[in-house]
Amino acid sequence: MENKLNHATLLAALICGSATTALAGGYTAPVVESEPAVAVAVVPATADWTGFYGGVQLGGAELSQSYPGADVHLGMEGRHYGLHVGYLRDYGQFVAGGELSYDKLDDFDMGFGGPGDFDGNVIRAKLLAGYDSGRFLPYAAVSFARMELESSGISMDDTGFGFGVGAKFMATPRVMLGVEWMTNEFEFDAGPASADIDLGTVSLSASYRF
């Protein structure tokens, strides 16, 4: 009996000592290691415009005619469609390049309820300068063009300078869409009569990047 009391007394003393030590030292919470926070940067959509491309274009066209000394002005609306090839070079925020296009001109309407007498074609060599804003490229252009027209069996051709503005959108790394307005001025001399003709076009284009 005495041994049991001694064992009980010893066990109670150990429990009391452990509790006293815990109270004296305070409670220490377990340390839980966490993964370091990772900052996620939002990167804006960017595009590299450098490379060759080729495609098709179509849209509306307008021929404005004036005859020196006669005070006569005529306008005809029609359409154009054709092919183009080009090359762009991306220098960072500045993009420069060149483009060569061929367009068929037809279906002109002089406003008298029927088709006009003119059809023809135009070849343009353009220099482009634009601003790289990611997948969107607004640009300005100057062009040197040669236009051929046929009217009532008479063929005329002339070269002229022009300018325009446009924008290209990189839909995918290979597909590029565009819109453009361009105007060129020509002087035609057809026998006894001469005419100043302005060609204005609005184009929608689709290009494949090589």
- pLDDT for the residue 75: 76
Calpha distance 4→10 (Å, rounded): 10
- What's the average pLDDT block by block, 10 residues per block, for the chain (210 residues)? 50 49 49 54 67 97 78 77 98 96 84 59 97 96 93 81 97 97 86 77 97
79 Cβ partners below 8 Å, 6+ apart?
Answer: 58, 59, 60, 61, 105, 106, 107
- pLDDT for the residue 70: 61
Structural contact between residues 196 and 64, judged by C-beta atoms closer than 8 angstroms: no
Angle at 139 between CA 172 and CA 55, to 5 degrees: 45
Q: What is the DSSP string of 34-75?
A: -PPP-PPP-PPP-----EEEEEEEEEEEEEEEEETTTTEEEE
- pLDDT for the residue 59: 96
- pLDDT for the residue 79: 92
- pLDDT for the residue 11: 47
- pLDDT for the residue 190: 60
Structural contact between residues 120 and 75, judged by C-beta atoms closer than 8 angstroms: no
Q: Look up residue 115 and give its DSSP letter.
A: B
- pLDDT for the residue 96: 98
Please state the pTM of the whole predicted model: 0.72
Which residue(s) pair with 200 in the sheet? 62, 183
